[in-house]
């Protein structure tokens, strides 16, 4: 089950030396990050944060921003192993060791703080992060991400911080905060390119005109690498930078709420295809990332600060209702969603490619919300419904998007998470209502899928004449949908689980079956999984450490202590459950002895019903012995049947391990080291681990 070795990089930031505990280790890359002075490689503003916000900013807040920026720089510098999309993500995960000078190393080296930092970054990027912290010299000036000119209106007593990307969802969240909730948000923007900066500035200006009662203070910042394009442009660490920035600003202004908004469908990162689960999928507002960031912030700051996503329970079409309700729907055409905004084929008049995953979701939402009047098809380079989809990404994304919606729309909401167990990542294991959370996720995905299928139906009706006459290209989305190729030709690539770091703890390892879900605890981390065969097998193995258990006994629900044919009958199992066991001479002798015992009981019994049961048992055991001996009366092992059962049980356990790898990587690794699979299976932990099993 071993995977190729991922990149393992050491980053020394701003002259920080290698700490003693890291000395002597080997890395595939040794890099340095310079964030200040003439040799700075990061496009960061050096102005003091106090100047930008007209008030004191704590050293911890500055450290948080500095760490986030350096991690983003590292994320950009080390390629994930291939210029192509790594479908199976064998090289997707990297290992980073960051050595950073900070103002408060005693805080950052606290085990719970370091663990929370590693876990949040690990979830955001799907990488391993380790840290070494040293005391920053007094004269060190950390780069801060704010522009030089900040509106004096920052003093206007804002009560919330909103991260504003210039996309649809951040616009909806900002309008809702002002118009529906009566809030006074301060707006923060990430300036990744001139195109994005113009979009953000124009939208803020329009919002100030429409909501004149609040001046909407706006701060923009940059965090870009100098020296050309990034080796890894995915920039997943950017989500952590945004959250860290919002929390740092909130802490300096005594604000408790930071808004990081995306519609619920995008936030939960649905597994429409394993091929899109890597580089093309974002986790910027994933519920688990927000939960992990909030945990870290709670450890760092004394005042309560919470990062929230007010659109988490809405589809994008549902979110757009906010704009229509407040007469801001015309601003949709000024927003930017396309993941290829740097493409030379795009312009202000045609700002969207029309074929990337972001554009596809945007186009469907606009149509579903009835807002094509403010954003017609000519705002896209390609109209996927009626134009040719080019070979490659374009020909995959739109059909897979529709296929996934068709599959989900056909399910009951309560069955969706069972069909797509990766969605369990979105759940909070500590929630008081896990069943309710599961149903809520199912309803969200079901509503989105119904919206998608309804849009497909509407567009088929709109272009029925063209479809009937064959006027549309064969590779247009409507032709593919009508012809059924959407479902058949673009099968989703099975997703591989990711690996994450989890914090350790003193909680007793446990597996408890509650209703239809297993609640698993290991090293302080908790997760919830659907009740599947693999977890049932694991629970029995964990319940009986160092005991060998036959694969067929696991398949039949046998107990852990059974290790021989003699104990099969004692365990109360039927002959059918043991038919695939190898029958040796000792086993046959025991079974024949047991037949004689049954015959004696048969002769002594006066109960006709019991006599019939005993007759059937004797007949079954004799038939089993006869079948097991094979031709010429020789003992035989039934290699085909035995292998079939062994393979089925092993695959079920492997599927359970894959799910564990996704949410409890420490447990996954422990089981990889402790499980023995084959015809006889066992759990042999070293050192000993005592499990609490409740099924």
Q: Is the distance from CB of 577 to CB of 553 less than 8 angstroms?
A: yes
3-state secondary structure of 189: strand
Instruction: Give the C-alpha separation, 136 to 14, whole Å.
Output: 9
pTM of the model as a whole = 0.70
pLDDT at residue 236 greater than cutoff 70: yes
Residue 496 lies in a domain: no
Residue 151: per-residue pLDDT = 39
Q: Where residue 288 falls among pLDDT bands split at 50, 70, 90?
A: very high
pLDDT at residue 512 greater than cutoff 50: yes
Q: Where residue 494 falls among pLDDT bands split at 50, 70, 90?
A: very low
**How far is the CA of 10 from the CAs of 15, 28, 519, 576, in angstroms?**
13, 8, 37, 57
617 shares a domain with 574: no
Q: Where residue 193 falls among pLDDT bands split at 50, 70, 90?
A: low
Instruction: Give the C-alpha separation, 597 to 265, whole Å.
Output: 64
Using alpha carbons, select from 296, 214, 178, 303 the residue that is nearest to residue 250: 303
- Where b means 16+ CB within 10 Å and e means fewer, 225-236 reads beeeebebebbb
380 shares a domain with 320: yes
Within 10 angstroms of residue 30's Cβ, the number of other Cβ atoms is: 12
What tokens does 286 get? 């994933």
Across the range 195-214, mean pLDDT stands at 90
Helix axes 287-300 and 111-125, enclosed angle (nearest 10) = 160
Residue 360 lies in a domain: yes
Tens of pLDDT, residue by residue over 583-597, are 556 566 667 777 887
Using alpha carbons, select from 269, 272, 266, 271 the residue that is nearest to residue 490: 272
Bridge partner residues of 29 (DSSP): 9
Instruction: Give the C-alpha separation, 357 to 161, whole Å.
Output: 28
Instruction: Give the C-alpha separation, 417 to 681, whole Å.
Output: 30
Of 84, 103, 135, the residue that ends a domain is: 135
Residue 389 lies in a domain: yes
Task: Sort strands 8-13 and 95-102 into parallel, antiparallel or unpaired.
Answer: parallel
Highest mean pLDDT among 333-347, 463-477, 550-564, 623-637: 463-477
Residue 42: per-residue pLDDT = 65
Tens of pLDDT, residue by residue over 674-683, are 898 887 888 9
pLDDT at residue 145 greater than cutoff 60: no
Within 10 angstroms of residue 242's Cβ, the number of other Cβ atoms is: 25
pLDDT at residue 639 greater than cutoff 80: no
The mean predicted confidence, pLDDT, of the chain is 79
Tens of pLDDT, residue by residue over 540-568, are 899 888 877 878 778 766 433 333 433 43
Higher pLDDT, 492 or 640: 640
Instruction: Give the C-alpha separation, 333 to 327, whole Å.
Output: 13
Q: Which residues contact 596 (CB under 8 A, 6 or more apart)?
A: none
Highest mean pLDDT among 82-91, 173-182, 215-224, 658-667: 173-182
Within 10 angstroms of residue 77's Cβ, the number of other Cβ atoms is: 18
Across the range 229-243, mean pLDDT stands at 71
Q: Is the distance from CB of 139 to CB of 165 less than 8 angstroms?
A: no
**How far is the CA of 133 from the CAs of 245, 360, 368, in angstroms?**
20, 43, 50
pLDDT at residue 418 greater than cutoff 50: yes
655 shares a domain with 530: yes
Residue 667 lies in a domain: yes
Residue 641: per-residue pLDDT = 59
Across the range 507-516, mean pLDDT stands at 85
Q: Is the distance from CB of 344 to CB of 296 less than 8 angstroms?
A: no
The domain tally of the chain equals 4
Residue 244: per-residue pLDDT = 92
pLDDT at residue 514 greater than cutoff 60: yes
Across the range 69-95, mean pLDDT stands at 67
194 shares a domain with 127: no
Instruction: Give the C-alpha separation, 243 to 124, whole Å.
Output: 11
Per DSSP, 529 falls in state E
Residue 363 lies in a domain: yes
End-to-end CA distance of the chain: 28
Q: Where residue 194 falls among pLDDT bands split at 50, 70, 90?
A: low
169 shares a domain with 76: no
Q: Where residue 206 falls among pLDDT bands split at 50, 70, 90?
A: very high
650 shares a domain with 629: no
Residue 631: per-residue pLDDT = 41
Q: Where residue 160 falls among pLDDT bands split at 50, 70, 90?
A: very high
Residue 218: per-residue pLDDT = 87
117 shares a domain with 179: no
Instruction: Give the C-alpha separation, 448 to 317, whole Å.
Output: 8
Residue 168 lies in a domain: yes
Residue at token pair 């006066």: 606
Task: Sort strands 517-522 and 525-530 into parallel, antiparallel or unpaired.
Answer: antiparallel
Across the range 240-250, mean pLDDT stands at 91
Bridge partner residues of 513 (DSSP): 518
CA of residue 627 relative to chain centroid, distance: 49
Residue 2: per-residue pLDDT = 42
Residue 632: per-residue pLDDT = 43
Tens of pLDDT, residue by residue over 324-341, are 999 999 999 999 988 776
What DSSP string describes 540-595? HHHHSTT--EEHHHHHTT--TT--SHHHHHHTT--HHHHTTS---HHHHHHHHHHH
* Cα atoms in the 13 Å half-sphere on the side-chain side of 182: 0
Residue 13 lies in a domain: yes
Q: What is the span of the domain harbouring residue 275?
A: 152-225+241-488
pLDDT at residue 63 greater than cutoff 50: yes
401 shares a domain with 317: yes
Prior bond of 451 cis (ω within 30°): no
Instruction: Give the C-alpha separation, 249 to 264, whole Å.
Output: 25
Tens of pLDDT, residue by residue over 296-331, are 999 999 999 999 999 999 999 999 999 999 999 999
Using alpha carbons, select from 512, 540, 514 the residue that is nearest to residue 649: 540
650 shares a domain with 557: yes
Residue at token pair 């199912």: 442
SS3 sequence, 351-414? CECCCCHHHHHHHHHHHHCCCCCCCCHHHECCCCCCCCCCCCHHHHHHHHHHHHHHHHHCCCHH
pLDDT at residue 165 greater than cutoff 60: yes
For the ranges 136-140, 245-249, 437-441, the lowest mean pLDDT is seen at 136-140
665 shares a domain with 625: no
Highest mean pLDDT among 137-146, 220-229, 269-278, 530-539: 530-539
Residue 383 lies in a domain: yes
Q: Is the distance from CB of 656 to CB of 537 less than 8 angstroms?
A: yes
Q: Where residue 572 falls among pLDDT bands split at 50, 70, 90?
A: very low
529 shares a domain with 672: yes
What tokens does 398 get? 């739109």
Residue 129: per-residue pLDDT = 94
401 shares a domain with 252: yes
Using alpha carbons, select from 663, 670, 667 the residue that is nearest to residue 122: 663
Higher pLDDT, 483 or 544: 544
Tens of pLDDT, residue by residue over 365-380, are 999 999 999 999 999 9
Of 440, 461, 488, the residue that ends a domain is: 488
Using alpha carbons, select from 686, 684, 660, 582 the residue that is nearest to residue 1: 660
Q: What Rg, from alpha-carbon coordinates, does the chain have?
A: 30
Tens of pLDDT, residue by residue over 9-53, are 899 998 899 888 777 788 888 888 888 777 777 655 534 445 556
Higher pLDDT, 506 or 492: 506
pLDDT at residue 493 greater than cutoff 60: no
Q: Is the distance from CB of 322 to CB of 453 less than 8 angstroms?
A: no
Within 10 angstroms of residue 494's Cβ, the number of other Cβ atoms is: 13
Across the range 140-162, mean pLDDT stands at 60
Across the range 104-123, mean pLDDT stands at 94
Across the range 122-127, mean pLDDT stands at 88
For the ranges 127-136, 263-272, 445-454, 598-607, the lowest mean pLDDT is seen at 598-607
């Amino acid at each position: 089950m071993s995977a190729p070795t991922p990149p393992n990089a050491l980053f020394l930031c701003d002259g920080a030396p290698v700490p003693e505990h890291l000395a002597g280790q080997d890395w595939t890359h040794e890099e340095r990050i310079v964030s200040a002075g003439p040799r700075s490689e990061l496009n960061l503003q050096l102005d003091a944060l106090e100047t930008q916000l007209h008030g004191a900013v704590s050293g911890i807040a500055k450290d948080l921003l500095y760490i986030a920026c350096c991690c983003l720089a590292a994320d950009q510098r080390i390629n994930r192993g291939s210029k192509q999309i790594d479908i199976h993500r064998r090289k997707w995960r990297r290992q980073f060791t960051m050595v950073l000078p900070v103002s408060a190393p005693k805080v950052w080296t606290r085990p719970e703080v370091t663990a929370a930092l590693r876990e949040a970054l690990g979830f955001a990027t799907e990488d391993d992060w380790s840290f070494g912290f040293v005391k920053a010299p007094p004269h060190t000036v950390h780069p801060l991400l704010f522009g030089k000119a900040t509106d004096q209106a920052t003093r206007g007593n804002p009560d919330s911080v909103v991260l504003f990307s210039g996309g649809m969802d951040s616009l909806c969240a900002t309008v809702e905060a002002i118009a529906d909730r009566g809030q006074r948000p301060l707006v923060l923007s990430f300036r990744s390119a001139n195109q994005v900066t113009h979009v953000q500035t124009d939208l803020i200006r329009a919002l100030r005109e429409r909501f004149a009662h609040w001046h909407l203070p706006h701060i923009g910042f940059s965090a870009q690498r100098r020296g050309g394009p990034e080796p890894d442009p995915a920039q997943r660490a950017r989500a952590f930078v945004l959250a860290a920035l919002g929390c740092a600003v909130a802490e300096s202004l005594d604000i408790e709420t930071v808004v990081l908004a995306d519609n619920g469908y995008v936030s939960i990162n649905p597994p429409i295809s394993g091929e899109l689960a890597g580089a093309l999928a974002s986790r910027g507002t994933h519920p688990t990332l927000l939960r992990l960031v909030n945990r870290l912030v709670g450890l760092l700051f004394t005042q309560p600060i919470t990062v929230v996503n007010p659109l988490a329970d809405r589809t994008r079409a549902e979110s757009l209702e906010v704009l229509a309700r407040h007469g801001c729907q015309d601003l949709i055409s000024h927003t930017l969603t396309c993941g290829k905004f740097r493409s030379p084929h795009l312009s202000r008049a045609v700002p969207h490619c029309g074929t990337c995953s972001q554009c596809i979701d945007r186009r469907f939402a606009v149509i579903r919300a009835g807002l094509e009047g403010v954003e017609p098809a000519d705002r896209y380079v390609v109209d996927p419904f009626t134009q040719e989809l080019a070979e490659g990404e374009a020909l995959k994304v739109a059909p897979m998007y529709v296929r996934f919606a068709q599959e989900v729309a056909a399910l009951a909401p309560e069955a969706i998470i069972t069909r797509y167990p990766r969605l369990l990542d979105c759940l909070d294991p500590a929630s008081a209502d896990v069943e309710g959370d599961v149903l809520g996720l199912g309803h969200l995905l079901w509503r989105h899928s119904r919206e998608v299928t309804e849009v497909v139906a509407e567009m088929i009706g709109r272009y029925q004449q063209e479809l009937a006459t064959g006027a549309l290209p064969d590779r247009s989305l409507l032709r593919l949908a009508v012809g059924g190729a959407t479902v058949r030709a673009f099968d989703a690539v099975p997703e591989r689980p990711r690996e994450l770091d989890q914090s350790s703890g003193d909680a007793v390892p446990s597996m408890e079956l509650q209703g239809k879900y297993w609640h698993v605890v290991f090293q302080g981390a908790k997760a919830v999984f659907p009740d599947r065969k693999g977890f049932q097998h694991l629970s029995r193995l964990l319940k009986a450490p160092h005991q060998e258990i036959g694969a067929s006994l696991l398949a039949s629900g046998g107990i852990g202590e059974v290790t021989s044919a003699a104990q099969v009958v004692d365990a109360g199992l039927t002959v059918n459950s043991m038919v695939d066991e190898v029958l040796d001479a000792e086993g046959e002798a025991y079974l024949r002895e047991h037949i004689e015992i049954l015959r004696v009981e048969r002769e002594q019994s006066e109960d006709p019903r019991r006599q019939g049961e005993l007759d059937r048992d004797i007949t079954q055991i004799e038939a089993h012995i006869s079948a097991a001996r094979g031709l010429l009366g020789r003992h035989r092992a039934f290699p085909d049947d035995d292998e079939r059962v062994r393979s089925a049980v092993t695959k079920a356990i492997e599927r359970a391990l894959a799910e564990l790898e996704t949410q409890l990587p420490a447990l996954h690794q422990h089981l990889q080291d402790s499980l023995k699979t084959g015809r006889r299976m066992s759990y042999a932990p070293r050192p000993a681990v005592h499990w609490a099993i409740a099924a």
